[in-house]
Amino acid sequence: MSTNLIDLIKGQLGPATVSQTATQLGESESGISKAISALLPAVVGGFVNSNAQSELFSTVKDAATSGVLSNLLGNLEGSDSVISKILSLIFGDGDKLAAITNSVSEYAGIKNEATNSVLNLVTGATAGTIGRYAVDHNLDVSSFGNLMNDQKSNLASLLPAGFSFASLGLGNWFGSMDAAPVNVIPEVNQTPIVDVNPTTPVTEKPIVTETPKVDVTRSGTTHEIVSDNSSGGSIWKWLLPLLLLLLLGWFFWKQCDKKAEPMPVTTVDSTATVSDSTNPAVDSVTFQRETIMVTLPSGKTLQAYKGGIEDQMVNFLKSDEYKNSTEAQLKDRWFNFDNLNFEFGNSKLTPESQVQLENLKMILAEFPDAKIKIGAYTDKKGDEAVNLKLSGERAAVVKSSLNSAQVLEAEGYGSKFAKVSADATDKERESDRKTAVRFTK
């Protein structure tokens, strides 16, 4: 099954990023969201349609290793030379960029300058995500080109209603079809109105268009009702409306009598427990999830939740407590992921989880001597052996996704440390479902 890059990139452009972008640019969040929805398919389409695939491949790999994903908001003004180069490779210079900016600005209701900044944001997120995917999956130029081709079938349908690549000044990309012709209903013969009042002659007989009436039977079939042109006393003139009213009454009564059908629900297993597991006094879901910029030793920054796993880990690694801790002391000090989720009942990560994984890669790169272990846990619901197996698979997936020699071990504990009864509500059992890391020496 082909990889949907759009879903991966969307993980970098979540609500927190939209909110902070809107604040920095002085625009509404709805306007920024609309701009992203129009620009993202266009930017990915630019990657797919580029004639410079080899140079583009090299550039996105550079973007992945340069930390562009950890500084998306710092590149809103176009200060990153990699982003500028990519825009030139996928859109050329001048006219296309101007056409895109004007169209999206009008659609989103934001200033042209703001649209340019959002374009830099989307391009950085796209380049970093594709570059990281290429590095993690050991792609070469040929497989990179195949990955781009796999995206073609989805792109046009992802543009907002009323948009096309042509309307953005990008021409007939990927064989986009023109709008389908509208079916025109042939004009019905015009019939003059009969003079119904012989004492008051009609001076001008107005022209009307008659629409054939259609009667719907209970079986769902239809037939045309032929107009009766006989005398005004015909029984059908009053019987037919009565029958239609009775039929409509029966239909609505049947609808009201129907039992409501349950709506399908898409479920994910959340590991968003945001407090350190060694501090049980902190309620893991009650504090406000405020986003901050965490500064790394090199001066680079990454976006994270205040008090979240990135904030906690960086502060701990900088502290004397970490420097002086023994292996035995570190063994009980776990840091819980707060933005990492799996699809319900399996070990597949949701796209938005990529943001936190990228942040952890950055942290490990900044602290090359740090070593970590991954732990995954489930609640008590279900079979204990199944839970143990699932947690082990999830821990292994996180270790593989981090793809770092600094991750020494991954272990699943199942429901071994779960504290909440299996009979409790799903919300109450949420605290037992988590994925965490600890340092080791």
Q: What is the pLDDT of residues 116-150, one digit of tens each?
A: 999 999 999 999 899 888 888 889 999 998 988 88
Percent of the chain with pLDDT over 90: 37
Q: b/e map of 313-335 (b: 16 or more CB within 10 Å)?
A: bbebbeeeebeebeeeebeebbb
Largest CA distance in the chain: 111
What angle in degrees, to the nearest 10, is found between the helix axes of 353-366 and 112-136? Answer: 70
- Residue 95 in any domain: the answer is yes
In whole angstroms, give the CA distance from residue 235 to residue 430.
69
154/301 same-domain check: no
Q: What is the pLDDT of residues 363-396, one digit of tens each?
A: 999 999 999 999 999 999 999 999 999 999 999 9
282/419 same-domain check: yes
> Is the per-residue pLDDT at 335 higher than 90?
yes
Q: Which of 174, 191, 220 is the endpoint of a domain?
A: 174
Q: Which of 174, 192, 219 is the endpoint of a domain?
A: 174
Of 170-174, 249-253, 303-307, 410-414, least confident by mean pLDDT is 170-174
- Residue 240 in any domain: the answer is no
Put simply, whether the predicted model's pTM sits higher than 0.85 gets the answer no
In the predicted model, what is the mean pLDDT of residues 168-183?
47
- Listed in sequence order, the residues at least 6 apart from 153 whose beta carbon sits closer than 8 Å to its beta carbon are none
* DSSP strand pairing (334-336 vs 434-440): antiparallel
Tell me 437's DSSP state: E
- Listed in sequence order, the residues at least 6 apart from 156 whose beta carbon sits closer than 8 Å to its beta carbon are 41, 164, 165, 173, 174, 176
Q: What is the pLDDT of residues 75-110, one digit of tens each?
A: 787 667 888 899 988 887 667 888 888 989 999 999
Q: Tally the domains of the chain.
A: 2
Q: b/e map of 390-412 (b: 16 or more CB within 10 Å)?
A: bbbbbbbbbbebbeeebbeebeb
CATH code (residue 276): 3.30.1330.60
- Residue 10 in any domain: the answer is yes
Q: What is the pLDDT of residues 228-272, one digit of tens each?
A: 444 444 566 666 777 777 777 766 665 554 444 443 333 445 454
Helices (H), 227-330: 236-257, 309-318, 320-324, 327-330
Q: What is the pLDDT of residues 269-311, one digit of tens each?
A: 545 433 333 333 333 333 446 888 899 999 888 888 889 999 9
Q: What is the pLDDT of residues 187-235, one digit of tens each?
A: 344 444 344 444 444 444 444 444 444 333 333 333 433 444 444 445 6
> Is the per-residue pLDDT at 7 higher than 60?
yes
Q: Which of 174, 206, 239 is the endpoint of a domain?
A: 174
| Owning domain of residue 355 | 268-440
30/132 same-domain check: yes
In whole angstroms, give the CA distance from residue 340 to residue 335.
13
